[in-house]
Amino acid sequence: MNDSRYAAILVAVMSVGTIFLRFLPFLVFKKKVPSYIAYLGKVLPPAIIGMLVVYCLRNTTITSSPFGFPEFISIIVIIILQAWKRNSLISILSGTVVYMILIRVCI
């Protein structure tokens, strides 16, 4: 089907793109890493994770019911658990379960 061919092309693009990014630095910086790039390597990861948090929440509606309430509460739960237990698995599981319950309860 045309649909699966299209999906297969997208999967191939994602695969090649990811492999390209992972190999590129090994090919370019064989000897020494420029200090600007090393600096970006240090500061970009937390910034990009912050970007991805916003990306995940991009379609949350805060102007109508339930006003982003399930997202808000679940995120608070994750932050508290992560800061307390430092165990991503527990935080992710609990946050997701809380969210799945809340979107069924507050409509």
Write out the residues near another protein by the rule CB under 8 A.
6-7, 9-15, 17-19, 21-26, 29, 32-59, 71, 74-75, 78-79, 82-83, 86, 88-89, 91-93, 95-96, 99-100, 103-104
State the nearest-atom distance from the C-beta of 9 to another protein, in Å: 6
Task: Report yes or no: 76 and 68 within 8 Å, Cβ to Cβ.
Answer: no
In terms of CB distance, is 49 or 65 closer to another protein?
49
3-state secondary structure of 72: helix
State the nearest-atom distance from the C-beta of 67 to another protein, in Å: 16
DSSP state of 67: T
Give the Cα separation of 39 and 79 in Å (integer): 27
Task: Report yes or no: 74 and 91 within 8 Å, Cβ to Cβ.
Answer: no
In terms of CB distance, is 22 or 64 closer to another protein?
22
